[in-house]
């Protein structure tokens, strides 16, 4: 089992990526890649569960190779890394912390998108959302955060 956490600042401009898709919003997440905080948290959880370090070790934010990259590519590569160690994903549970926009209408699409990249059943991918009731950098709409827990199983066990 592994846990992942990621946070990105929110700034002016578009687009806003979350869970592998573009979501309508007046702000964008700022980062070296497309700044998809949910995918980054899931990658960290996968890597942690397989004892492979963290996302920055494999996809450094000072590398030109990853500048503006679609985080679904990072997710696919992370999946390859855990498979190389004979692990498969059992399930994913995640939560996105943001004040706006409300993402309830996009959760099914995010789950389906993530499951498609990871070649797994969407019913084994949980995405939830919460606000911080106006408190902290999330509540003041200065940032977005996500946490994920991933359970892996070792092939043949």
> What's the whole-number mean pLDDT along residues 105-124?
97
Classified as helix, coil or strand, 87 is strand
Please report, for residues 24, 40, 80, the alpha-carbon distance to residue 142 in angstroms, rounded to integers and kept in the order given. 17, 18, 33
Asked if 10 and 28 count as a contact pair (C-beta separation under 8 A), the reply is yes
Which two three-digit tokens encode residue 79?
Answer: 């999946």
**Closest to 22 in 3D by CA, of 71, 81, 80, 90:** 71
- The answer on pLDDT for 157 being more than 70 is no
- By residue count, the chain amounts to 157
Please state, in angstroms and rounded to a whole number, the distance separating the CA atoms of residues 86 and 108.
Answer: 29
Classified as helix, coil or strand, 95 is strand
What integer best gives the mean pLDDT of the chain? 95
Give the model confidence (pLDDT) of 49-100 as tens digits: 999 999 999 999 999 999 999 999 999 999 999 999 999 999 999 999 999 9
Please report, for residues 22, 37, 50, 102, the alpha-carbon distance to residue 84 in angstroms, rounded to integers and kept in the order given. 30, 25, 10, 37
Q: What is the pTM of this model?
A: 0.96
């Amino acid at each position: 089992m592994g846990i992942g956490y990621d946070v990105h600042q929110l700034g002016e401009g578009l687009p806003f990526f979350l869970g592998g898709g573009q979501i309508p919003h007046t702000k964008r997440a700022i980062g070296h890649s497309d700044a998809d905080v949910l995918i980054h948290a899931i990658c960290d959880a996968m890597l942690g569960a397989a004892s492979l370090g963290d996302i920055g070790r494999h996809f450094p934010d000072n590398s030109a190779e990853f500048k503006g990259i679609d985080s679904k590519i990072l997710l696919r590569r992370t999946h390859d890394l855990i498979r190389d160690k004979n692990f498969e994903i059992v399930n994913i549970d995640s939560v996105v912390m943001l004040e706006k926009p409300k993402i309830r209408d996009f959760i099914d699409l995010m789950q389906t998108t993530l499951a498609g990249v990871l070649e797994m059943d969407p019913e084994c991918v949980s995405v939830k959302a919460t606000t911080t009731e106006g408190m902290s950098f999330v509540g003041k709409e200065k940032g977005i955060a996500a946490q994920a827990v991933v359970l892996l199983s070792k092939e043949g066990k």
